[in-house]
Amino acid sequence: MRYPASEKLEIIRLVENSHLSARRTLQKLGIPRSTFNRWYEHYVTGGVDALEDRKPRPSRVWNRIPEETRDQMDGSKNYVFTAG
């Protein structure tokens, strides 16, 4: 389940202000500690804005054709690449 930033912040504040331990509070809320710890780390380092969901995307594409090679292609799809 995805939580909006406003709910994440509310959960962080509930845990911070609870008379129960963080572990117990999270158990009652049904939030895994690892999830809460990730939210809290984002909150501490980047504030409320860091709690917003970001679209997952790879940092780099493993099979991207290098720009130089792409420039040499004439648009044909019949290329055979050899390891070398």
Q: What is the pLDDT of residues 35-66, one digit of tens each?
A: 999 999 999 999 999 999 887 777 777 777 77
In a domain, 31, yes or no: yes
In a domain, 27, yes or no: yes
CA 64 – CA 12 distance, rounded (Å):
40
Percentage with pLDDT > 70 across the chain: 86
pTM of the predicted model as reported, rounded to 2 decimal places: 0.64
Residue 70 pLDDT more than 90? no
In a domain, 16, yes or no: yes
Query: Apex CA 57: angle with CA 34 and CA 5, to 5°?
Result: 50
What's the structural domain count of the chain?
1
Spatial contact of 51 and 39, defined as CB atoms under 8 Å apart: yes
Percentage with pLDDT > 90 across the chain: 60
- For the chain, how long is the longest CA-to-CA vector? 68
Which whole number is the average pLDDT over 3-25? 96
Residue 76 pLDDT more than 80? no
In a domain, 81, yes or no: no
In a domain, 84, yes or no: no
In a domain, 55, yes or no: no
Task: Look up the domain containing 19 and give its range.
Answer: 5-50
CA 17 – CA 39 distance, rounded (Å):
16
In a domain, 21, yes or no: yes
